[in-house]
Structure 1
Amino acid sequence: MTALVPTGVPQRTERLGVTAAYAAQGLSYATVVTALPFFRDRYGIDEETVSLITLTVVVGAAFGSILADRVSVRWGSRTSLMLALGAQAAALCVVLLPVPFPLFWAFFGVYGLGLGGVDASAAMQAVLVQRRIGRAVMGSFFATATAASAAGAVLMSGASGSALGAGLALGVAAVVAASVAGVGARIFDRTREVRATTAEQKAARTRIPTLGLLLVGFVVFAAFTADSTLSTWTTLYLHDELAVTGTWTVAGLAFAIAPLGYGTYQVATLVSRLGSDLVVRRWGRAPLAAVTAMVGAVGLAMMALLPTVGAVFLGVALAGAGVGALVPLAYSAAGDLEPSRSDEIVARVNLFTYPGSVIGAVVPGLVAASAGYGPSLLVAAVMLIPVLVAVPWFRSTRGESVPRDDAAEGAVVD
């Protein structure tokens, strides 16, 4: 066993560093997604091509998550996170320019690599920092990403669809990502795992609990399926099937009602993530995971089975409260499955994110084409029910409180 020595970086600084990484991730992703109509118009491409470009990002993100694990093996998750943020910044700088379309598409793939790398590496860092602090803080990191996503959407909205405005918004996201990467050596946790090299070391090393990894991975898969379903289809459900075309006037400003459904989901997600850490500290991670899974399923079922405007808004708020908290709980549980190999486990669990996102964006549309949006929402609701099987794996291996990292197997500080 190698003792974990102090990193020389204050806990508050490390926590701020991880928070900054999640902020950069949320800002860049929201900016890129909301810029898709601008890119479509700039290159004169159709919706099918836009879908293929989006798929390129998803595939790139999966490879980025794998690369993050490989890089963290040798240099630690701090280096992996810095490189991934740097890749995002470089890609954003290229795509905001009117470069030839093949180059644009290629760098969208580079952005995907950075996206997946930050997803995995930031979660690795979050697990390390939470363990050092000794109490639940994972929800606050994901809440930061949610708030930054909202800021990114507002930033792109202010661009008003102009080439200059969109370029400025993407440029801001690039600068933020590059800045966080640039100071990462000073503010990220330097702890890294030492992987076994000899046959004797590999034989003696603690095994990863495969069943636990698969079950926690399924929770991530189900949560992101629900998240993608709600993000993609809530507005269309309200507008197309429930014929919500009116506006809501506040202080002389008119707001279309249908998009407010997605806004309600984001607000509920943010609130649940902000509050989840306090709940975990008092009642534990496993009980909250069970409750949030059921709340999310009930919310989705309410949207599907009670097709009225009021029920849909209440349902989407419940779904946001459930799904929003479930994601940080799952990553926190992944890091505790085997603390001495948390980087590997988090990287593997993160891979479940991307098929969930794709299925949530595609399958409901296919179901809705023949049966309507209601049954399509039930798909995501049903997938949350088996999450209860994974709840026992959400208990910390050393009690419900987060263990402090005064010593850890297979860990060193650069």
Structure 2
Amino acid sequence: MPLTAPGRAQAGRPAGKAGARRVATVTFAAQGMSVAAVYTTVPAVTEHLRLAPLLTTALMVTVALMAGAGSFLGLAAIRVAGPVSTMRGALLTAAVALMLIGWAPGRATAVCAYVLFGIAVGALDVGINTRAAAIERVHGRSIFGSFYTAWSVGGVVAALLTAAAARLEWPVADGLTVQAGILLIVAACVRTHTLPTAGEPSEPPEPSEPSDTSVQSPLGRRMWARLLPFGLVLLVVYVVDSTVSAWSAVYLRQTLAASLTVAPMAYAAYQAGTVVGRAATDRLVQRFGAVAVVRTASLLVAGALAGMAAAPGWLFAVLAAGTVGLGASVLAPLCLAAAARLRPDASETVLARLNLFNYAGVVTGGAVSGLLGSTGEFRLAYAAPAALAVLLLAAGRHFSRPAGRERRAHEAEVGS
């Protein structure tokens, strides 16, 4: 397969890593907005449809399970249509799902809408991370943190839109329709930019670029072992993330007696903390190294979760949620970037595997927190992950793996 010369576009496609980075950044923001729109409207949807607490928990777990399935559908779509087309299709599907959630006339329609959203966000996740890994390789330095900063900004915007809609006493359908409209605009603006190449393909080929998949070596039996440290970190991160994201609004509403206007503020604070943390991630890694950043972030998360569990009122809980976001924010992008470097020629498959840990954490955190919350024990739901966060300290050393060792490990896999 002929390689595209650096700086030149294929037919009908603009060239340039700057344009590709802009598209990926906006898409990350849209994904963050869609997830926040779903999580921050849980109290309003629950009250509107009169859902039982256990059914609400089941819905949040279902979203995570469907996202796991969606990531493998996204992997298949990438192989057929490429990552950019996968991103565009997933955004359109997520927008439809948001409108269905808002306008659902009954529980059955709501369940179907949440299932559709989970599939869409899972496909979007693997598509956008595959594209981001390719863009980072072209830049030759750590930029994953900037993408996840955009994700968090989108989450903050969505949470504030939810709070504003509640303040204006809009029906939940109107607020979700506005946010779905934003996703549709982003999907319409997504374009494919041809990335420069430096001796190897920087992304899975688009449909107009058929590839000989027979020349791509298999991942090998050792890949699961090499992914395990990053997978465990990602699992714990998403236990924490789902506990705060999916249930913070309900926690403020039910346990701390906050209004529907105030309830989304913990999620907004959490995402605001992630904006700050992720904006600083790349510089912190360059200055102090990934190991020190991971270990410091782990301690910060543990302390902030304990503070959230003991919060005497909603304001304290909001501040603690922001601190959790500050610490947890750096861990996911560092995991994804490190895993993608293990096999640059098959990053989409590696990331799909890693996503299993992601969604296992979301399911575990969402289910346990929801079950504890339904029995009135939301405080324990935030105390328990604090202990798990300390376990991340042991995994920190794996983030300093030299490139030479990665190359030798890959050669050993191929030869085995």
Per the normalisation by structure 2, the TM-score is: 0.78
Aligned-pair CA distance for 1:61: 1.0
**The residue matched to 2:70 in structure 1 has which SS?**
helix
Deviation larger for 74-83 or 115-124 = 74-83
1:218 matches 2:232: yes
Q: 1 CA distance for matches of 2:149 and 2:169?
A: 30
Deviation larger for 169-178 or 119-128 = 169-178
The residue identity in structure 2 corresponding to 1:21 is T
Counterpart position of 1:191? 203
- Find the partner of 1:229 among 212, 233, 243: 243
Q: Is the 8 A contact 1:268 1:320 kept in 2?
A: yes
Counterpart position of 1:412? none
Aligned-pair CA distance for 1:221: 0.8
Deviation larger for 126-135 or 41-50 = 41-50
1:86 matches 2:100: no
CA root-mean-square deviation? 3.8
Q: Which runs of 5+ in 2 are unaligned?
A: 10-14, 196-201, 408-416
**The residue matched to 1:277 in structure 2 has which SS?**
helix
Aligned-pair CA distance for 1:227: 1.8
Q: Which runs of 5+ in 1 are unaligned?
A: 248-254, 404-414
Q: Is the 8 A contact 2:67 2:119 kept in 1?
A: yes
- Give the alignment of 1:126-137 within 5 angstroms: 126-137=132-143
Q: Is the 8 A contact 1:35 1:166 kept in 2?
A: yes
Q: Is the 8 A contact 2:90 2:124 kept in 1?
A: yes
Q: 2 CA distance for matches of 1:101 and 1:375?
A: 29
Post-superposition CA distance 1:342-370 (Å, at most 9, x none): 11111221222222123223324656788
Counterpart position of 2:280? 275
Q: 2 CA distance for matches of 1:158 and 1:71?
A: 37
Aligned-pair CA distance for 1:169: 2.9
Q: 1 CA distance for matches of 2:316 and 2:189?
A: 46
Aligned-pair CA distance for 1:312: 6.5
Q: Is the 8 A contact 1:63 1:116 kept in 2?
A: yes
Corresponding pairs, count: 387
Post-superposition CA distance 1:127-173 (Å, at most 9, x none): 11111112222112112111211211222223238896543432333
Counterpart position of 1:338? 343
Q: Is the 8 A contact 1:296 1:323 kept in 2?
A: yes
Counterpart position of 2:271? 266
The residue identity in structure 2 corresponding to 1:223 is V
Aligned-pair CA distance for 1:64: 0.7
Post-superposition CA distance 1:56-87 (Å, at most 9, x none): 32222111111111122233222221221121
Q: 2 CA distance for matches of 1:206 and 1:311?
A: 47
Q: 2 CA distance for matches of 1:246 and 1:111?
A: 27
The residue identity in structure 2 corresponding to 1:220 is L
The residue identity in structure 1 corresponding to 2:344 is P
Q: Is the 8 A contact 1:77 1:124 kept in 2?
A: yes
Residues 314, 39 of structure 1: CA spacing in aligned structure 2 closer, same or farther, 3 A cutoff? closer
Residues 319, 51 of structure 1: CA spacing in aligned structure 2 closer, same or farther, 3 A cutoff? closer
**The residue matched to 1:54 in structure 2 has which SS?**
helix
Counterpart position of 2:54? 48
Aligned-pair CA distance for 1:317: 4.7
**The residue matched to 1:135 in structure 2 has which SS?**
coil
Counterpart position of 1:67? 73
Counterpart position of 2:353? 348
- Give the alignment of 1:362-377 within 5 angstroms: 362-364=367-369, 366=371, 375-377=380-382
Deviation larger for 128-137 or 179-188 = 179-188
Q: 1 CA distance for matches of 2:211 and 2:399?
A: 25
Residues 214, 113 of structure 1: CA spacing in aligned structure 2 closer, same or farther, 3 A cutoff? same
Identity of matched residues, %: 26
Counterpart position of 1:409? none
The residue identity in structure 2 corresponding to 1:158 is A
